[in-house]
Structure 1
Amino acid sequence: MNQTTINDAYKKKARERACMLITKWMYKVAIPFNAITYPSFQPMIEAIGQYGVSIKGPTLHEGTMFMQSIDASSMIKTREKMFELLNKWVEQVGEENGTMFMQSIDASSMIKTGEKMFELLDKWVEQVDEENVIQVITENHSSYVMADIGKLPNIKKTLERAISLNGYIYNRSKLLNMMKRFTRQRELLRSAKTRFATAFITLSRLHEQKNNLRKMFTSSDWSDGKWAKE
């Protein structure tokens, strides 16, 4: 066996041991194994190898200092990227620091779907970075809503209970008057353009008035009334 073969066998064994220790450490500190695929992983390994076997890992203090440096560098790069985008914007609306116009798209021939809206917005989110996106505002359109969300078991059951409670109260005029006393004349029902929207607005109203409704159902007015005995 020549020297080259011996060295290759030693390097293979040494690499296996290094990979095992890296994997074991990642497992112990709960680092996802797909972190190995990050572009920054290999440069870290190479830097350790270039130093040699006597290298000592960063202390807690050093780690904190380096992290602060990385955060500052990341912020600078983000700002540089934003300024680069600013230079590409073709129109400015409002005051100097106000609304900016980035791009217009002729969407007249497009079918309004959540998937298409995501496709149009996703590329801009990638350009400005997700952490810089504060709010996404779109036209209110039924096709952007999750299909048949009201048929999901838990949501369907909740909606049915809300409809049953409202029906019980609003079909009894005296009970309705009692409810309004406890809710300070606030209604539980509010109509909207669609039945879907009406149901969820009603749920929101019930949630807002849950404490007042609990007071009503535990009050003497309720317990002394005929409805408690039904």
Structure 2
Amino acid sequence: MGSAIPFNCVNNPELHGMIQMIGEYERGLKSPSFHEIRVPLLKKEVDYTKLQEGVEENGFTLMSDGWSDINNRSICNFLVNSPKGTIFLASTDTSNIIKTKKHVFAMLDEFVEMIGEENIVQVVTDNATNYKATGEMLMQKRKKLFWTPCVVHCIDLVLEDFEKKIEEHKVTIEKGRKITSFIYNMSRLICLLKEFTQRKELLRPVATQFAIAYLTLGRLHELKGCNARRSGRSNLN
């Protein structure tokens, strides 16, 4: 009443959906601020509206992406993609969920239902065994969509096999790790590196992204001449 909202707004189905979603949260849910509604939430709605413009012609791709945060919680992000761009839908904390094909299927199927099966062309996930099985289950239930393994994850698995099964790759990558660790453990060497490489950084490999190891080797090769000049040698072995 204080905001002069018309009584017929209670007939809006979106209001009913909003109330239902609010009820799914525990006590203490905070309402969005004026700035959040006016800027990020409005922008998200505008982006989603733009995506919907070409949905009848091209359809959506539903994508899932699993990762771990700084507290080692297992998080799964859900996004939709179209020729107009990609937008974030939601994040789900999956730390306490056993990622069997049944549970993964339930999560993905819920988002397919939310977006509308008629609007989705394909679902993209990683290439793990449980996701393969989930993809088969989705295609059996939803006859018009396809499951596609993530290309990036497939390439990452190939590079992982290269490192584990090809001795020359394994030895070379280990040398690259030692070089980058040696440089980044000494502040003086970091300063010299930036001086001779025009402030370019070395890409340092991490445990779970095997592509990074090869990118690091590529950067070491790229900066090989700079390191040779710094060390006073004509080559760097």
TM class, shorter-length: 0.3 to 0.5
Larger Rg: 1
Greater RCO structure (CA 8 Å; 6+ sep): 2
Q: TM-score, structure 2 length as denominator?
A: 0.34
Q: TM-score, structure 1 length as denominator?
A: 0.35
More helix by share: 1
More strand by share: 2
